[in-house]
Amino acid sequence: MKKLALHWKIIIGLLLGTAYGIASAFNGWSEFTSNFISPFGTIFLNLLKLIAVPLVISSLITGVASLSDTRKLSRIGLRTILLYVATTAVAVSIGLILVNVLEPGSAIPDSYQETLSNEYIDKAASKKNLADSVQENRGPLQPLVDMVPSNIFSAASNNSNMLQVVFISIIFGISLIGIDRKFSKPVLEFLKGVNQLIIKLVEIIMYFAPYGVFALIAKTISSVSGDISQIGSLLTALLFYMGVVILGLFIHMGITYIAILKFFTNISLKHFFKSIGPVQLVAFSTSSSGATLPVTMKRCEKDLGVSKEISSFVLPLGATINMDGTALYQGVAAVFIAQAVGMDLTLADQFVIVATAVLASIGTAAVPGAGIIMLVIILEAINVPSEGIALILGVDRILDMIRTTTNVTGDATIACAMDSLEK
């Protein structure tokens, strides 16, 4: 009997987890699910996070150092960043067009706004406080300052500092190019060994992916549906908003990414989407581009034929700065909240959203829920009450899963494009 492929096992885990989550909500099993099912999802997610930093360091340093021609490095780096920024700007623009045309915020009644605000006021306040602490005393060049750590070990000890890890890895890789071969070779051989070790760990961890996906989805569905009456009315009222975000994400994937694949590569669309299917499923279940990175790299190299030289540079960078789905969501959410509280945004405000969303996406940590914090900063930039995030917190987790799927699809698309450009 033919063994089931990994992606089919993940799909089965996804479906069973969804079914169990619904049953858990209706039968009052939420406490059991939280205590005895959810921990296995957390373990799976932690295992993926565990290898994220060493994978980025080993792959990015060796990737940069393998580009012995610094001019080639500059060319690849510039092209990659330009493509990432361009696709992010396109994504948030698509979101803004849809939300302005469809106006989902106008469908929320005043009484319901009050109910939602009361329901999520504490969560909203905590997110606002966290965002305020991030934004406090920040000048226009603060993102550049944040990118350069004062302590290597401190930067590497936290996955939320991935941009700093990327910076360290790039300058280390560039420095290796500039020193004598007899000194750089043993360092590179060691890092290549670490990279192979991490790849083997990925293979081992992915054996547990179906069970991890089951647990993560079961907990998500169970918690979202924990209060049937409240959540039922919530999803009904916010279905329009969710639909706009999801429509925007699918338009972006279906037009922008396909256009890039058609224009820059010779890869068939069927082969591309079949190859990254497991990547999308892991991203959907974990809501973390960083945690999905090991799977993304493996699929791009083995199934899509992306060279290790390109994948080890482009993909870790993409997991850190390429947040198309997050930026699109932030644009839609900001305008939706403004519409819900009766505020009219000017064209200038919309340009501020585009610029802020693009820049915010670069600095957004590749972990679940990070986008909501950056959304608060965007709301503050256009003078929309940041407390308005209380309106969308109830459905944010669901959208987080879908926008993360978009993020990793974009990473793989750009990696394929860059690989084709360099051949």
Q: Is residue 76 part of a domain?
A: yes
In terms of pTM, does the model score above 0.85?
no
Q: Which of 317, 323, 338, 328 lies closest to 408, judged by CA?
A: 323
Tens of pLDDT along 101-160? 998 877 766 655 555 455 445 555 555 565 566 556 666 677 678 778 899 988 888 766
Tens of pLDDT along 312-323? 888 988 887 788
Q: Is residue 96 part of a domain?
A: yes
Residue 196: domain span? 6-422
Q: What does the pLDDT average to over 168-192?
A: 89
Q: Which residues of 376-391 are buried (b: 16+ CB within 10 A; e: fewer)?
A: bbbbbbbebebbbbbb
CA distance 373 to 126: 10
Handedness of CA 53, 85, 401, 292 (dihedral sign): negative
Q: Is the pLDDT reported for residue 274 higher than 90?
A: yes
Handedness of CA 92, 98, 100, 105 (dihedral sign): negative
Structure tokens at 278: 């497991």
Q: Is residue 1 part of a domain?
A: no
* DSSP one-letter code for 68: -
Question: How many separate domains does the chain show?
Answer: 1
The total of other beta-carbon atoms located within 10 Å of residue 302's CB is: 11
Q: Is residue 105 part of a domain?
A: yes
Q: Is residue 246 part of a domain?
A: yes
Q: Which residues of 185-198 are buried (b: 16+ CB within 10 A; e: fewer)?
A: eebbeebbebbeeb
Q: Is 103 exposed, middle or buried (0-12, 13-18, 19+ CB in 10 A)?
A: middle
Q: Is the pLDDT reported for residue 238 higher than 80?
A: no
CA distance 54 to 266: 32
Collapsing DSSP to helix, strand or coil, 59 comes out as: helix
pLDDT at 200: 83
Q: Is residue 351 part of a domain?
A: yes
Q: Which of 393, 371, 320, 347 lies closest to 93, judged by CA?
A: 347
Tens of pLDDT along 63-108? 777 766 667 777 888 888 889 989 999 999 999 999 999 988 777 6
Q: Is residue 366 part of a domain?
A: yes
| CATH number of 414's domain | 1.10.3860.10
